Structure 1
Amino acid sequence: MLAPEIEVLGLAEVAERLGQPVNRVHQLLRDGQLLAERRDGVLVVPADFVAAGNVVKGLPGTITVLRDSGFSTEEMLRWLFTEDDTLPGSPIEALRGDRGREVKRRAQAMAF
């Protein structure tokens, strides 16, 4: 479960920011390109997953690596938003800062 202070978007708002229909957002969730959780019964996506009208570069590949390593959606969300002094910042901040290769390398290392 994400910390309450993390900004989230409803699926309609994600669709608007991506310039896509809502059913495309549902497809991105099914395909593992995005992650969502329920807040007060509503499915929401962290706002940090969307930038400049696209899903953050490197996020889908990182999700795939984590899922293949056996992480649940909750564990993936927790890992992506947990501060890591060696990055510095959280993995999602690193992905947004175009440091996806390092994030993916760390995700792969956790699998072993």
Structure 2
Amino acid sequence: MTDDTAASAATDWLTLPELVETLGEPLGRIRRLLDEKHLVGSRRQGAFAVPSLFILDGRPLASLRGTVIVLQDAGFSDDEVIDWLLAPEESIGRPPIDALREGRKSEVRRVAQTLA
């Protein structure tokens, strides 16, 4: 198991029904949030799920969308985006998702842009 896979395995994941409950939104709205890249998820553990760290105060983390778009523009798949966000990043000194949750989106996006 790689460090990236280990980091994502150690993270709590929310299935679509759990996202409906956590966000208090109907399933259609959850799907729109995924389509519009406000959230990103994976089927790596069976059912489609989103890392719980992507939710802050009952809402999708506001800075996540732009970061996901930067990474996808660099050619990352959804799984690769999740792995990068959850794994420790040497140039940031912590996993990028932790830095995003601390409000350090400019730093995270600057590093993400160098990956293109």
Correspondence for 2:24: 19
1:23-55, Cα deviation, whole Å (9 max, x unpaired): 111111112221111144311100000011211
C-alpha separation in 2, matches of 1:40 and 1:33 = 21
Q: Which runs of 5+ in 1 are unaligned?
A: none
What displacement does 1:107 show? 0.9
* CA–CA distance in structure 1, aligned partners of residues 45 and 80 of structure 2: 19
State TM-score, norm by structure 2: 0.86
Contact kept? 1:9, 1:46, Cα under 8 Å: yes
**More strand per residue: 1 or 2?**
1
Deviating above 6 A after TM superposition, structure 1's stretches of 4 or more consecutive aligned residues are none
Q: 1:88 is matched with which residue?
A: 93
Bigger mean CA deviation after superposition, 32-41 or 55-64: 32-41
Whether the 8 Å contact between 1:32 and 1:64 is mirrored in structure 2 is yes
| Conserved? CA contact 2:68–2:81, under 8 Å | yes
Kindly tell me the number of residue pairs found equivalent between the two proteins: 111
Residues in 2 aligned to 1:17 and 1:104: alpha-carbon distance in whole angstroms: 27
Q: Are 2:108 and 1:106 equivalent residues in the alignment? A: no
Q: RMSD between aligned alpha carbons?
A: 1.6
Answer with 9-18 or 65-74: which moved more: 9-18
- Name the aligned partner's letter for residue 91 of structure 1: P
TM-score of the aligned structures, taking structure 1 as reference length: 0.89
